[in-house]
Amino acid sequence: MTTPTPLVAGNWKMNGLSSSLAELEALETFVKEQAEASCELLICPPFTLVAAMAVKAGGSVKIGAQDCHFNKSGAHTGDISAEMLKDIGAEYIIVGHSERRADHEETSDTVNAKAAAIHGEGLSAIVCVGETEEERDAGQTETVVLGQLLVSVPDSATPTNTVIAYEPVWAIGTGKTPTVADVAEIHTAIRGALVERFGEAGKEFRILYGGSVKPSNADELMAADNVNGALVGGASLKASDFNGIIDAYRS
């Protein structure tokens, strides 16, 4: 079995102006001047910055996007397709983030269609799954997460074109985090579900943890069983904070 190369991805959400390109430059300076990290690096800025970041990126940091439509083109005012994002330099696209599921009522079937469209363009999908605090308190974490996983991930998924991101909704932007044991338990359950569906290839999918990841807790979270990197929100907006998380993969 090949050990998956960890991925540390920054989701900027609805943050960032043209002046924020300086953070990409600062991050690449950190990466160049400090010890090499044994992980892949990715920033997913808002749509307005994808093209500029893709041009400015020096190669050590890849650029992705935060969402796409499942159709290639058409009468979908305000939407953007995977093909369009590929055209401006995106290599990854996040789909199924809890904020999309909640704020835009996206279902796992919709997420599946988006991920399949991403695969059709030769790009990689980061498929997000996670439970709410109410579901967690009711003991439904595994049922909810594995249910989302089963429907959200299309049959076209491979370890090369798909990353799974587990983000407990109650931990996103709240400062709360599950225990390392809790993270390991659900990541191991996700791994088992991937192996059950995809066979040996299921062992090679990267499973990221997301939810209040910061420099102070990155080391222990990234060391948990079946954690292959992080999907970072607020702490990815500043190069110094993001670099502190990347330190978890520097020897």
Return the SS3 of 164. Answer: strand
Segment 187-240, tens digit of pLDDT? 999 999 999 999 999 999 999 999 999 999 999 999 999 999 999 999 999 999
Q: How does pLDDT run across 139-173, given as a tens digit for each residue?
A: 999 999 999 999 999 999 999 999 999 999 988 88
pLDDT at 186 over 90: yes
Tokens 């330190």: give the residue. Answer: 247
Write out the residue range of the structural domain in which residue 72 sits. Answer: 7-249
Tell me the C-alpha to C-alpha distance, in Å, between residue 155 and each of 66, 138, 149, 205: 21, 31, 12, 14
Q: Where are the alpha helices (DSSP H) in 34-140?
A: 47-56, 82-87, 98-103, 108-120, 133-137
Count of domains for the chain: 1
Residue 216 belongs to some domain of the structure: yes
Could you tell me the CATH number of the domain that includes residue 157?
3.20.20.70
Residue 81 lies in a domain: yes
Residue 101 maps to a domain: yes
Q: Is residue 219 part of a domain?
A: yes
* Domain-located, residue 231: yes
Q: Which residues are catalytic?
A: 97, 167
Q: How confident is the model at residue 93 (pLDDT cuts 50, 70, 90)?
A: very high
- For 36-64, the pLDDT digits (tens) are 999 999 999 999 999 999 999 988 999 99
Residue the block writes with tokens 């904070």: 241
Per-residue confidence at 251, pLDDT binned at 50, 70, 90? confident
What's the pLDDT band for 1 if we cut at 50, 70, 90? low
Nearest alpha-carbon partner for 232 in 141, 158, 157, 171: 171
φ, ψ of residue 210 in degrees (nearest 5): -140, 150
Q: Is 2 a member of any domain?
A: no
